[in-house]
Amino acid sequence: MKPYVLLLSAALAACCHSPKQGRPVYLDLSKPVEERVEDALSRMTLEEKVAMTHAQSKFSSAGVPRLGIPEIWHTDGPHGIRPEVLWDDWNQAGWTNDSCTAFPALSCLGATWDRELALAYGRSIGEEARYRKKDVLLGPGVNITRTPLNGRTFEYLGEDPYLSGQLVVPYVKGVQENGVAACVKHFAVNNQETRRTETNSIVDDRTLYEIYLPAFKAAVQEGGAWAIMGSYNLYNGQFNCHNKRLLCDILKDEWGFDGVVVSDWGGCRDDDEAVTNGLDIEMGTWTDGLRGAASNGYDQYHLANPYLERLRDGRATEDVLDDKVRRILRLSFRTNMSPEPHYGLFCTPEHTDVARRIAAAGTVLLKNDGVLPLAVPDGGRILLVGENAIKKMVVGGGSSSLKTRYEITPLEGLREALPGVDIAFERGYIGNIGTSYNNVSTGEDLSESRSADRLVADAVAAVETADVVVFVGGLNKSGFQDNEGTDRQQLDLPYGQEGVIRALAAVGKPLVVVNISGSPVSMPWADVADAIVQGWYGGSESGRALADVLTGAVNPSGKLPFTVPCSLEDGPLKTERQYPGIRVEGEQWWQEYYDEGVFVGYRWYDTRGIAPQFAFGHGLSYTDFAYGDVTLSRKELRKGQTLTAKVRVTNTGDRDGAEVVQLYVADPEASVARPAKELKGFEKVFLKAGESRDVTFTLDESALSWFDAGRHAWTAEPGEFRILVGSASDDIRSEASFNLR
């Protein structure tokens, strides 16, 4: 914890002048931030400046005690506030009051398609960070789902840059309302975990600007993000934590970013580039962030003693250092030295309510032949099968691993929701029996003495006396699943789960399959299930939120933030050079070629006419929605004008519910290859049974444009455009055309 009282005392003792001299500007909270920054900078020694640009512990960087400037404390997110660790060790510090509220994984937030919930998420996690006296929250993540095998897909918002951008902006604003910086990650083209620290991403400018940069740009220019984290991989042959093109040319010059660039832990790899190429704070573990070193390892960081030596012998200039320090001081004046008092809140009922609402709103009903919502009377029997019905998922997965006060499992959630129903359980399969990570334990015992065949036989036998069977399976957060540092090795369900599902279905009782994962899984068994639900890593309230949806207490409104393909072979990544990359003679690093260009996710499937298992934007409800004809405010659009598209949506069922109305734009006459359609608007509307509402979208030239790399400019070509409005990328209900002049 940061000793604020001691820091303030030090500031007053060391810095406050006599009454005749007055108070230093940087302590005068009425002065503009930039004046305070310049005043503080003018008082600092060279050594003090350099000390601020690198880590001093696992999660902190130095302040200036002589001037009363506090150190900066970072914390892992983006799903909750990480438990305290030792000063320079990943092991737990042994605190007893750092068990946080675990919020749903960001792929679940992506599935809500709900800007208001994204704001509530950011506010709540920001309050928890401020209460724990953290200054920088290391999240959210907005990398695009290029491959469904990416181990960190669960930490991101999906495959579409527009959807990700629309949700990251309120998240960032919500966090920063609390005087905590959102550090948006991982910048950029960081789309796999396999060899993540030694792979060079080779991507053309059009693809870069259309697919992989827009969410970051929105976070900076619309969300006002105060921090950006570089990624481990290389782009254009330079590591992204000190990549001149990304950090200097694009982020700071083109976008006008005035915050700090933080390296991923150990992502800084070169003394000269660390100084000159836009990195502001180097964080990591020991000298190079990857391996051990002497106890004074932090002094050997690229931006520590090696930087001082360069400054002293003239190989580096102080004006570049001053730019870094200005940014760091600006960060402090926005966070731990902000004039606005921020106290935070921790593990409140309001936070658990937000977590539960997000988890339920993100749950996606993929298929329903009438078995949901569950209608089992008191005295009836539901058989719950599957390890994920009892396995707690908050612990594990890498840097997003949390220690939470409690975690409700699906079995606990259903038993609580249906006290009059016999909820029986059979494990069905053995997955991952691990229950701890970095010395945080769930306290569970998942050991199992039965064989795989016996587990299936016992589950099938138990079906005979059940009214309905609910299989809860999917992935977990162990290695080679949804996990930092490793990618998945298969798209199918692991641990023989397909065989379990088919054996359960063969009995003939109604079967609901709940897939718990943070990334897509193939579902060749979909035809034997009466209902399929996409659940997520829902955090503390995961089991209750799932029960809310299964029982009908909440009408599902989630929509897929990514495509669920039938097979890997159907997708755009066809060659090893695309994924996971190849070795090229004469090159030091693995080379990963983005040959698919802008055709990622639904852009690929819709353009190629390949039917996925479930499309981007797909999600059913317990009610039905009818769409009227879309009408346009004009048939011709000229530069500088806007166009309004309006469609009436009616809840034609007998339940209240929410629908995500999606607007796509198609450019059938382009001079370059463009996707069949691209998401350019969405609105989530709640309608009571029988209620109708007009949903309106406003578009301008930017929604019609593609990035012309030759001109380095966005281009909207004259000609016909089509507006497509519907419930999913493959479920277009109405369309209209206009011309751009």
Segment 621-642 shows an average pLDDT of: 96
Can you tell me the distance from the alpha carbon of 305 to that of 50, in angstroms, rounded to the nearest whole number? 8
Q: Report the relative pairing of strands 643-651 and 713-715 from DSSP bridges.
A: unpaired
Helix 497-506, helix 452-463: angle, nearest 10 = 30
Contact 170/214 with Cβ under 8 angstroms?
Answer: no
Q: Where are the alpha helices (DSSP H) in 2-53?
A: 4-15, 33-42, 46-51
Segment 625-643 shows an average pLDDT of: 96
What's residue 20's pLDDT? 37
What's residue 586's pLDDT? 95
Segment 191-203 shows an average pLDDT of: 98
Task: Kindly write down the DSSP assignment for every residue of 407-470, as one continuous string.
Answer: ---HHHHHHHH-TTSEEEEE--S------EETTEE--------S-HHHHHHHHHHHHTT-SEEE
Segment 168-191 shows an average pLDDT of: 98
Segment 427-435 shows an average pLDDT of: 95
Helix 161-176, helix 214-221: angle, nearest 10 = 30
Q: Examine the pLDDT at 697 and tell me if it is beyond 50.
A: yes
Contact 365/556 with Cβ under 8 angstroms?
Answer: yes
Contact 244/195 with Cβ under 8 angstroms?
Answer: no
Segment 619-631 shows an average pLDDT of: 98
- Classify 49 as helix, strand or coil: helix
Q: Which residues of 441-477 are buried (b: 16+ CB within 10 A; e: fewer)?
A: ebebebeeeeeeeebbeebbebbeebbbbbbbbbbbb
**Confidence (pTM):** 0.95
- pLDDT above 90 covers a percentage of the chain that reads 91
- pLDDT above 70 covers a percentage of the chain that reads 95
Segment 702-714 shows an average pLDDT of: 98
What's residue 292's pLDDT? 52
Element (H, E) at 175: helix 161-176
Q: Examine the pLDDT at 22 and tell me if it is beyond 90.
A: no
CA angle 561, 396, 159 (to 5 degrees): 15
- Classify 328 as helix, strand or coil: helix
Q: Where are the alpha helices (DSSP H) in 258-334?
A: 271-276, 305-313, 318-334
What's residue 21's pLDDT? 47
CA–CA distance from 284 to each of 135, 274, 451 (Å)?
Answer: 17, 13, 43
Split at pLDDT 50, 70, 90, the class of 23 is: low
Q: Examine the pLDDT at 3 and tell me if it is beyond 50.
A: no
Split at pLDDT 50, 70, 90, the class of 289 is: very low
Split at pLDDT 50, 70, 90, the class of 348 is: very high
Which pLDDT tens digit goes with each residue over 146-161?
999 999 999 999 999 9
Split at pLDDT 50, 70, 90, the class of 304 is: very high
CA–CA distance from 498 to each of 265, 337, 473, 501, 513 (Å)?
Answer: 38, 55, 10, 5, 11
Split at pLDDT 50, 70, 90, the class of 293 is: low
Q: Examine the pLDDT at 295 and tell me if it is beyond 90.
A: no
Split at pLDDT 50, 70, 90, the class of 722 is: very high
Can you tell me the distance from the alpha carbon of 448 to that of 427, in angstroms, rounded to the nearest whole number? 9
CA dihedral 427, 431, 436, 437 (to 10 degrees): -150
Q: Of 258, 468, 482, 239, give the one whose Cα is nearest residue 375.
A: 468
Split at pLDDT 50, 70, 90, the class of 297 is: confident
Catalytic site includes residue 89: no
Which pLDDT tens digit goes with each residue over 212-234?
999 999 999 999 999 999 999 99
Segment 583-609 shows an average pLDDT of: 97
Q: Out of 76, 114, 135, 264, pick the active-site residue.
A: 264
What's residue 454's pLDDT? 98
The region of weakest confidence among 162-171, 273-282, 373-382, 434-443 is 434-443
What's residue 28's pLDDT? 87
Q: Supply the DSSP symbol for 630.
A: -
Question: SS in 3 state form for 200-243?
Answer: EEECCHHHHHHHHCHHHHHHHHCCCCCEEEECCCEECCEEHHHC
Which pLDDT tens digit goes with each residue over 83-123?
999 888 888 899 999 999 999 999 999 999 999 999 999 99
Q: Examine the pLDDT at 615 and tell me if it is beyond 90.
A: yes
Q: Examine the pLDDT at 7 and tell me if it is beyond 60.
A: no
CA angle 32, 36, 42 (to 5 degrees): 150
What's residue 17's pLDDT? 38
How remote is the C-alpha of 206 from its chain's centroid? 23
**Token pair for 359:** 């988890």
Contact 302/239 with Cβ under 8 angstroms?
Answer: no
Q: What is the mean pLDDT of the chain?
A: 94
- Classify 560 as helix, strand or coil: coil
Question: In order of start, what are the domains of the chain with their CATH numbers?
Answer: 4-334 (3.20.20.300), 363-551 (3.40.50.1700), 621-740 (2.60.40.10)
